[in-house]
Structure 1
């Protein structure tokens, strides 16, 4: 049984890690005196974890995806703040990390984003280009396992358990090769979460962005989760966070101290959800891609338009985009 004080690793035990740049296995006779550079390529980007070779559920999230594609296609943008969006009345689709440092966030109104980052280069979204890159990445994933579950155009779960014999590699090594392949083929970086279930894999991928690789092992689950704010739990939005805070529950560790019956009484069915995820319990499987339930296209006008002819022209263009997407979808 897991306890909040589970020991992650014995400092006197040997441990084997991986180089994130060349995937060389790196041995350390003691966990508390790990090497700082790869013996092969001399990279300092080494990955050590006592359960590194035992875990197989992965979440991959592209780093500032739309902005990364634009920077890939125009190297002059590399060191500049880039915002993907459009018009004073539009919203930010995504922003590169330089713009994020200035406080720009996704879904922020453009006028507010430009106040925070007036020197930003604003680029209107080019969804066809982003979709092409997204499908490229998805194809690379499907070469490794049929158990790929896309969450959006730029993120997906993979279940790599049982693929060791197929690839001759552990899931961790397979994922590192995939990350390198995405960088080489598509030209962008991704962040990776590796764990023993979907909730923890997705949580992990967000802990070290951009270009990160985070592992949460089974033996350390409660200990890693305990200090995190409750909003890190999937499904806990602002409203639920306020309810929990009003009851003195601000961290996942606070939830870990409460009985399931109490949480059910206080919050109904959501209480069971909180009880399980606060303990890192998630039995959802990685489900392969499902067909899209809808296909759409939209735009935002800089100013209000009441003229029916102008609106009809815009509607016609949007209809054409939807038609093209439907045709592409029907071809598979």
Structure 2
């Protein structure tokens, strides 16, 4: 009978490996025997996991702190503008309660001693491109999710080089911190679902692993909202069936889940067991980028609708920047309480990718249309996308009804 895989690990600083599990009772006092670092990772599958999710720590704020070393231990907020919201907050500011998409006035009441920077998107995009080049030097299988995060599939380079993916990633994080001045949190697993969950476990400067053997037990007590694709509406539908935790979901027969929730149910049944069939998919041509939100209570006032566009503009701007695209077209979508949908569009000159410009264009559409009624959903989308390093001059601004 084959016993469990013995626990071993590696040093994140000097990459010494394999390190035997620390003696029982030493805990956090155990250090790397080669370099003395306490930044060690132990896991029975550490040298076999190959799917990674990489997330920059408080990206915009970290870039600003890199350029202002005197602020290293001080609260920093990136945001502002006419109807300003927080684009990013460092971990010191987050400890005071500041969060992304929060109105700047509220953020400064919570953290009055914060240093505030207006977003400098061109600077952040430059750092993002440099980071992306480093990812691609490891593997062509890079799937960007935003300016500051991506999935990587390191199966082939790990096999070719004989170097475990964990060591390739630890070396990457060390090099990025030394040469780009920002820090990464890394999640490593057998698939995208577990890698993404792992990357949130140990922030900032984190490195967490979730293996296939432990996945079901690890997930069981967690809320179903931890699973990819489970938003408020789906979570509410699951709760009506008595499903609150991932363990509750895993206990239901997959055929029942599939009958009740269709294709989504098939995926959820897999996720509940820690399985994920999605592949890491490199860049594909992007034709449009959008975001939307469903209100808990219907909204009727135009200015309430305008306010709801703020976080959507932030989300769309981040996605444009991650794709290195500028948008020459902006569309807003409204869905009424009786599910009647209306859209309004405008063409921009020049094309943009910053949140404030997107919000101003979308807000102008709402105010010009002056919709009357009860609205349950609002969306903001961009099309007519062009590469971020090119321009498209002489576009005329116009409003069209679709």
TM-score computed with the length of structure 2 as normaliser = 0.70
- How far residue 177 of structure 1 moved from its aligned partner, in angstroms, is 0.6
1:246 counterpart (240, 245, 258)? 240
Q: Note if contact 1:88-1:110 (Cα within 8 Å) is conserved in structure 2.
A: no
Q: Counterparts of 2:23 and 2:287 in 1: how far apart (Å)?
A: 49
Describe the shift of the 1:192–1:147 C-alpha distance in structure 2 as closer, same or farther (beyond 3 A): same
Query: What is aligned with 2:174?
Result: 180
1:106 counterpart (58, 82, 100)? 100
- How far residue 89 of structure 1 moved from its aligned partner, in angstroms, is 1.8
After TM superposition, the structure 1 stretch with the greater mean CA deviation from structure 2, 37-46 or 281-290, is: 281-290
Query: What is aligned with 1:15?
Result: 7
CA deviation string 1:199-237 (max 9, x = no partner): 111111011111111111111110111111111101111
Higher fraction of strand: 2
Query: What is aligned with 1:315?
Result: none
Equivalent residues in 2 for 1:1-332, closer than 5 Å: 10=4, 14-28=6-20, 32=24, 36-87=30-81, 89-164=83-158, 166-293=160-287, 295-296=326-327, 297=352, 298=354, 300=356, 325-327=388-390
The root-mean-square deviation of aligned C-alpha atoms, in Å, is 2.7
Describe the shift of the 1:233–1:48 C-alpha distance in structure 2 as closer, same or farther (beyond 3 A): same
Higher RCO (C-alpha under 8 Å, 6+ residues apart): 1
Q: Note if contact 2:49-2:165 (Cα within 8 Å) is conserved in structure 1.
A: yes
Q: Counterparts of 1:88 and 1:33 in 2: how far apart (Å)?
A: 56
Describe the shift of the 1:173–1:164 C-alpha distance in structure 2 as closer, same or farther (beyond 3 A): same
What is the count of residue pairs matched by the alignment? 303
- How far residue 104 of structure 1 moved from its aligned partner, in angstroms, is 1.3
Describe the shift of the 1:157–1:29 C-alpha distance in structure 2 as closer, same or farther (beyond 3 A): closer
TM-score computed with the length of structure 1 as normaliser = 0.83
- How far residue 100 of structure 1 moved from its aligned partner, in angstroms, is 1.0
After TM superposition, the structure 1 stretch with the greater mean CA deviation from structure 2, 115-124 or 47-56, is: 115-124
Q: Counterparts of 1:29 and 1:271 in 2: how far apart (Å)?
A: 39
Q: Note if contact 1:26-1:38 (Cα within 8 Å) is conserved in structure 2.
A: no
